[in-house]
Amino acid sequence: MDPVSADATQTPQDDDAPGRWDALAAQVEAWVADDPDPQTADELRTLLATARRTPDSLAPGATPDPTQQQVLDAASRARADLADRFSGLLQFGTAGLRGELAGGPHRMNRAVVIRAAAGLADFLLGELEGRTPAPRVVVGYDARHNSHRFALDTAAVMTAVGIEVHLLPAPLPTPVLAFAVRHLHADAGVMVTASHNPPRDNGYKVYLGGRVVTDGGQGAQIVPPTDAAIAAEIHRVPSVASVPRAEQGWTVLGPEIVEEYTRTAVALAADDTAARERAARLKVVLTPLHGVGGAVAHDVLARAGFTDVTLVPEQAEPDPDFPTVTFPNPEEPGAMDLALALASATRADLVVALDPDADRCAVAVVDTRHHVKGAPQSPQADGWRMLHGDEVGALLGADAVARAGAADPATLPAHPAVACSIVSSRLLGRIAASAGLGFAPTLTGFKWISRTEGLVFGYEEALGYCVDPAHVRDKDGISAAVRVVDLAARLAAEGRTLVDALDDLARAHGLHVSDQVSARFTDLGRIASTVQALRSAPPTSLGGSEVVQVVDLAAGTEDDRDGLPPTDGIRLLTADGTRVVVRPSGTEPKVKCYLEVVVPVAPDADRHALDAAHRTARARLTAVAADVRATLGL
């Protein structure tokens, strides 16, 4: 019996649906028989046994006593858990796979990964049928639970069907895998990681390049319709037992691949005597948040001349349980508390935080506008704050635009451009326009940003930055850290800071301030209904300003300058220039609302005028956020 069939989507609610329960139980037994992992097989057997339990000596129709009721409740919970685990095969999409580690087809486990690897292998063999040499695939993994095992399973499956597989030598950052795909001219790459998801999760990212993708998306993550084509191949896999797996034959890469990546990242910093002197004076605190980026990032920064870099000791080593944070995401409250405390205590100039797979980069600075006078000693009292992703994107974008303007045209693409997602700030577009450089708004996600024709820099507000698209066609927290720390060192040599550079951008283009309202749901059906309610009845005003434009992004934006394909979301624009974009998250059970206000600033505005503009912007953002929460019932 195929362990996954249409019957598995039928959810037994109680004992008055014995036919549905029997069908589900049969599906569980078939999956267990096909499961290559004794741990998840035993987990499912235990759940199934609990689901089948009935209280002793309970007569039909009788009222159960408390002990008997406990047995019935446990059985009901076990049935509901099994119904969810067997609600279908974990969906393979443009984010690859991502889900909770557990047994069953709707979870991340060896059985699901082996099927995914077999489907991807069949897709690659079909795409390159009749061509030589055989497809080449690079496989990487982070330090999460089961990441190495999933990577080995992928290598075994692909090697067995004749694919040339190169396995990264250790748990490494996602950018190293993305670099390796292009550097080794691979046809595909697989990275086993759940990025900044909770500890119980893992995932499976897929990149295509080599001979499969030859345009600007070479080495980038997959996009439609490729995701659907791979998913179709995965669904054709009848069972794990039917998938051949080699015991050896793949190549484990040596440390030279990390060395090549490191050399490339180091080259992004200025390299002259003055630059080295500036770098040596900058004091940086770095945290990888228990992820795999610490050692590589520290080495890259040191070799670029930044020798005064202190790792947060409690978070320096990889730990799949992420013991010091609730969510291993720099954006989440509390995630950067240890780093900020260390920076405050050591009088550092800058804090840099990487997410666990090091493809995102967060930056914190001292901003005197946030100094709390008379408050107890703390990082917040000292004025430490994390820069918003749009602020770092604007700083790096302005730097990239300036570099492009000063570069030899022969070293640039024919039509150099910068790009950001449609939920990111509009400031990057204004920076590019003022310099006569191309600008492209894209759908959310680096799979889209990285495909921009002539890309020299791209970012999304969720702390993702691509500063070296020639080598890493994806967001890269380590190379972004090099560029932002290098910029901070140049400014420090002039007696200035990143905050001063942001003030310069406000004088030139207006003060753009952004924020986010989000809601996490356990009932996934509420995500779609929340977005649909806004689509059906959008607000007439936000923050006291009339809503003058409502764009349903699901209908596409061909009538707009963006010219983007359809995506689920709504964009609202008010008379005072405030913009709100509401969309469901692509990787988390959330509805996200992206807010941006713009306040005019005079070109010669002094500090007092800028302070006033910031107060105005924050007041407007607060009012808009309150209206958005009320409208969506969050």
> Which are the catalytic amino acids?
195
Name the 3-class secondary structure at 164.
Answer: strand
Token duo for residue 207: 């990149």
Measured distance CA(464)–CA(392) in Å, rounded: 9
Strands (E), 91-196: 97-100, 136-141, 164-167, 188-192
CA distances from 232 to 91, 245, 556 (A): 11, 21, 26
Q: Are the beta carbons of 155 and 138 closer than 8 angstroms?
A: no
Determine the distance from the C-alpha atom of residue 523 to the mean position of all C-alpha atoms in its chain, rounded to a whole number.
22
Give the separation between CA 559 and CA 553, rounded to whole angstroms: 11
Burial 529-551 (b: 16+ CB within 10 A, else e): ebbeebbeebbeebbebebeeeb
How far apart are alpha carbons 401 and 211 in whole angstroms?
A: 31
Element (H, E) at 610: helix 607-632
Strands 164-167 and 136-141: parallel
Nearest residue to 464 (alpha-carbon basis) of 452, 454, 472, 476:
476
Q: Which two tokens stand for residue 257?
A: 């691949």
Strands, E assignment, 367-510: 384-386, 417-421, 438-442, 455-460, 464-466
With 0-12 / 13-18 / 19 or more C-beta atoms within 10 angstroms meaning exposed / middle / buried, residue 602 is exposed
Q: Which two tokens stand for residue 501?
A: 């550079």
What whole-number distance in Å separates Cα of residue 44 and Cα of residue 49?
Answer: 9
